Structure 1
Amino acid sequence: MATFPTGDDAWNAMDMINQSPPVDCTKPYDTSTLAGKTILITGGASGFGAAFARHWALHGAHIMIGDVNDRAGEELVAELRASAPSSTQVFHYQHCDVTSWADQVALFQAALTSSPTGGIDAVVAGAGIVENGSSGRVFDTPRSLDPDNKLQPPPPPPLKVLAVNLTGVMYTTHLALHYLKQNAPPPGRRDRHILLISSVAGVMGLPGQTEYTASKHAVMGLFRAMRATAWAEGVRVNLLAPYFVDTPLLPTAGMLLLAGGAKGEVRDVVDAGTRLMADEGVRGRALCIGPGLKMEEEREEQVVWEIYAHDYARVEVFVWRYLKLLNVAHGVRGWVGLVKDLWGVFVTRRTR
């Protein structure tokens, strides 16, 4: 007969997925861990990606950028090389359409070749676009219908945003898991980190941006599922969900709607992203960054909130069983690896 846990914390699976405690964004964090890391950023030529690149380069990171904006990417790399605090830092730009599997493979392979350590330590899936013009009405049909041909179908919906924001992110994440696992730890330990970029549109519905909202909800779903399994591969996964921020990604219509209202700040997004990137103890956490809000009885404004923090605090039986099985398999794999290593040592000694 199957037995199930009991008690108030019976279905708490946070320890089972190696999730770290809640993030306290009021505490300082150590940026020295960024020095020497090789960080790959898709969509890194502008917006958040470029802001991350500039900030992390100042702390000694090697930056590998993929983007479709070649001019901006090459100019950014030249800027980083001119302002880098160390002459040994490496900065590389490569044209990359994230919807192309071949382009992404080439980007990762170029990053490996360029990396001074021969490996990739962290990947930021930062490439993203929004809907503009009539494409915002992704499920609208044409205004003028032919009354004599009621069977005439509408044209297919434009799905470029979905291709970039979801398919591209899935490609990036798949390659990241593959190449991060190959980054064997040197004496000591090496961090392996995937940082996903969703949006406030991944938490709430955003009217008029149907495809964008769907894509960012999907990225949020990717994070919520993957953080439960990536630990078994030695990879930590975190996510940022920025509010409306004045970057090239925010369309003109959005700026008009927000006129007079509060917007998020790029510096706050960079700070939150740097916390997740630098603090190697943060695993499976998502931070939403918005305009400063002053909470009751608090002296300072709060701009960062943790979201979906309690997904695994109480899970259903299927998830519980699956995670238990995953833990067992992980443990068995560890023992199998130990036996193989011991066997190799024994055979090597016998054959010498």
Structure 2
Amino acid sequence: MDLSYDPAHIQGKTILITGGAAGFGAAFGARWAAAGATVILGDINTSAGEKVTAQIREESQNQNVHFIKLDVTSWTSQVNFFRQAVELSPHGGIDTVVANAGINDAPEATAFEKPQVDYLNDPSPPAPSFKTLDVNLTGVMYTVHLALFFLPKNPDSSNCKPESPTSEPGRDRHILLLGSVASLHPLMTQTPYTVSKHAVLGLFRCLRISAPLNAGVRVNIVCPYYTDSQFMQAPVRALLAGTPLGKPEDVIEAATYLVADSRCSGRSLVTGPKLKLDASTGKLDVLRDDSGEQIQEGPIWECYLHDMEPADIFTQRMLGLVHVAIKARGWIGWAYDMAGALTWPIRQRWNRSSR
């Protein structure tokens, strides 16, 4: 899809990002600081947050980049985060809130599906851990609740106007949710994470209608497919060997488009591998040029969520994508990816030691 926008519309905005010390949060902050926004990063990891903030300041030559320690599972911490952000904002308000913080605790997921406690005989059996839900769901609900209070109070802002013929710069009222491919179809063995990301999608589906009416706030969501980043561990890479992965830059591009274009309201963008999607048939295919070289297109798709059928269609498309990609790349591509997955921990240690 065409993501035409004016990056100048990001300049001067104040943008809050939870989970901003690493991953997509840090990448969003770097991109938007370079465009002239005031960026306020929140994260529970103080040392990483301060380091990435200093790095973004240096690389962007933008001193309006700040870090505030934030525990998204703590209501008090979130309130303090928003209050301090308003004080740091050059215009005394907030334009965009990005609910990005999220985790996937694999041992927690395993323990949930394979109970080890003797619940019949243990005199005081412990409850299962739901840290993933605490961060990914309760934390997001806290963030969105506070955003719905602070955004309408943004000085010189007005109700969102999706019917505007052109995008407009200036003050904004925008919530950007970070979903996942797990928002649209289940990730087997990752039950808490899937539940949390399904819930974030449900939150979006409610707010995309009510938030513009009640608070003049536009709400959008980005749902990345499996993305080739430092957070994708070796077991997942091995599981996906032979299949294409999404690119972090496409997630950043999709999010930047939604932040920059004030007409975007109730939009749900899915990022994934660059394979051709036929909009008329919904079928995936591999295109080749005259010399036989593969042409890769379409890393960002619009996912319409009026009912559950489009989500089912999306799942079919993703399965089709996997089958097409494996057929196109063959066993050589699978072997290459598997070798990369098996050597990934060694390469990570090498990269850390060489810094």
The TM-score with structure 1 as length reference comes to 0.75
Q: Is residue 28–residue 252 contact of structure 2 (8 Å, CA) maintained in 1?
A: yes
Distance 2:286 2:48 in 1: 45
Q: Is residue 246–residue 265 contact of structure 1 (8 Å, CA) maintained in 2?
A: yes
Distance 1:273 1:154 in 2: 44
Distance 1:150 1:223 in 2: 42
Among 172, 190, 213, which residue is 1:191 paired with? Answer: 172
Structure 2 residue aligned with 1:253: 235
Distance 2:106 2:234 in 1: 9
Is 1:126 paired with 2:100? yes
Deviations 1:42-65 (A, max 9, x none): 001100001100111111011000
**Moved >4 Å (runs of 4+):** 149-154, 186-189, 296-300
Aligned pairs for 1:99-178 (under 5 A) are: 99-133=73-107, 135-142=109-116, 155-178=126-149
Structure with higher Rg: it is: 1
Distance 2:125 2:273 in 1: 40
> Gaps spanning 5+ residues in structure 1: where?
1-24, 313-352
The 1:27/1:189 distance shift into structure 2, 3 A limit, reads: closer
Structure 2 residue aligned with 1:218: 199
Q: Is residue 198–residue 220 contact of structure 1 (8 Å, CA) maintained in 2?
A: yes
Q: Is residue 141–residue 154 contact of structure 1 (8 Å, CA) maintained in 2?
A: no
**RMSD value over aligned CA atoms?**
2.3
The 1:114/1:151 distance shift into structure 2, 3 A limit, reads: closer
Q: Is residue 108–residue 130 contact of structure 2 (8 Å, CA) maintained in 1?
A: no
Q: CA offset at residue 150 of structure 1?
A: 6.0
Distance 1:84 1:210 in 2: 39
Indicate the structure whose relative CO is greater, using CA pairs within 8 Å and at least 6 residues apart: 1
Distance 2:110 2:194 in 1: 10
Secondary structure of residue in 2 paired with 1:220 = helix
- Amino acid paired to 2:270: C
Distance 1:246 1:69 in 2: 23
Deviations 1:3-35 (A, max 9, x none): xxxxxxxxxxxxxxxxxxxxxx32421111100
Q: CA offset at residue 151 of structure 1?
A: 8.2
Structure 2 residue aligned with 1:227: 208
Aligned pairs for 1:256-295 (under 5 A) are: 256-295=238-277
- Amino acid paired to 2:66: H
Q: Percent identity?
A: 47
The 1:193/1:134 distance shift into structure 2, 3 A limit, reads: closer
Is 1:91 paired with 2:65? yes
Secondary structure of residue in 2 paired with 1:171 = helix
Structure 1 residue aligned with 2:4: 28
Q: CA offset at residue 189 of structure 1?
A: 5.8
Q: CA offset at residue 103 of structure 1?
A: 0.7
- Amino acid paired to 1:305: W
The TM-score with structure 2 as length reference comes to 0.74
Deviations 1:177-231 (A, max 9, x none): 1110111326996211000001000100111100000000000000001111110
Distance 1:64 1:288 in 2: 25
Secondary structure of residue in 2 paired with 1:308 = coil
Structure 1 residue aligned with 2:320: none
Distance 1:91 1:134 in 2: 34
Higher alpha-carbon deviation: 89-98 or 48-57: 89-98
- Amino acid paired to 1:81: R
> Gaps spanning 5+ residues in structure 2: where?
159-168, 278-284, 288-294, 309-355
Structure 2 residue aligned with 1:58: 34
Structure 1 residue aligned with 2:322: none
The 1:311/1:207 distance shift into structure 2, 3 A limit, reads: closer
Among 5, 13, 17, which residue is 1:37 paired with? Answer: 13
Q: Is residue 43–residue 70 contact of structure 2 (8 Å, CA) maintained in 1?
A: yes
- Amino acid paired to 1:230: A
Q: CA offset at residue 85 of structure 1?
A: 4.4
Q: Is residue 157–residue 173 contact of structure 2 (8 Å, CA) maintained in 1?
A: no
| Larger helix fraction of residues | 2
The 1:99/1:27 distance shift into structure 2, 3 A limit, reads: closer
Distance 2:110 2:94 in 1: 37
